[in-house]
Amino acid sequence: MAEQKYLESLKEGIVNLDFDTTLKTTKEAMEAGVDPVRAITNGLAEGLGIVGEKFERREYFLSELVVAAEVMKEATSIIQPYIKEGGARAKGRAVLATIQGDNHDIGKSLVATLLRASGFDVVDLGVDVPTPKIVEAVKEEKPQILGLSALLTVTMPEMGEVIKGLKAAGLREHVKIIVGGSPVTKEFAEKIGADYRAADAVDGVNKCVEWMDSKRV
């Protein structure tokens, strides 16, 4: 099977919420030499994007969204060793968190998956993370990038509190801050002093890669 057919099959597996077929195809694709990063970005992630669109159109419900994310997570765990086998030096380190008061995890988890696939070390702090814990993680882990996620309008201001906390700790100038989540706008990101607002997971990862590549010029 040609690489493109594997990618299409992976995408369709996610869209159809077909756990067994997706995992089987993932294993076959890796054994056939399909590029692991493309398998995630051009196969699984595209399928999850379609599921997200169906969710927004109310063709799928939250249960389908959760299943699709779980299938993606399992498939990615199969792909991950093939990425590590390259032995390449990490592109950079990123700390990710869904801010305090918000328990949404799917978008952030997708970003974590794609960043790892792109060669980053990723420290995922999880959901509903208090601002002091995020600041402490930046201090301890010394990441080049901090990613903050929010899917609730009422929790968005906490992103600004994180940035204030980093400034107070003298850490702000040492880390790029990228924010995301459906209610987060470019204007809001600029207002709180973030470096970038990601339109979606792929856009966010592309910006992180761009930042790290520019450091090597």
CB 156 within 8 A of CB 184: yes
Structure tokens at 178: 């990228």
Q: In what order do the strands lie in the sheet with 92-98?
A: 120-124, 92-98, 145-149, 176-180, 196-197
Cα(4)–Cα(34) distance, integer angstroms:
9
| Paired sense of beta strands 120-124 and 145-149, if any | unpaired
* Phi and psi at residue 173, to the nearest 5°: -75, -10
Least-confidence region, from 3-12, 43-52, 204-213: 43-52
For the segment 162-189, the average pLDDT, to the nearest whole number, is: 96
Enter the pTM of the model: 0.70
For the segment 134-138, the average pLDDT, to the nearest whole number, is: 98
Sorted by where each starts, the structural domains of the chain and their CATH numbers stand as: 3-84 (1.10.1240.10), 92-215 (3.40.50.280)
For the chain, the first-to-last Cα distance in angstroms comes to 38
pLDDT digits (tens, 9 = 90+) for 70-94: 888 899 889 988 876 444 456 799 9
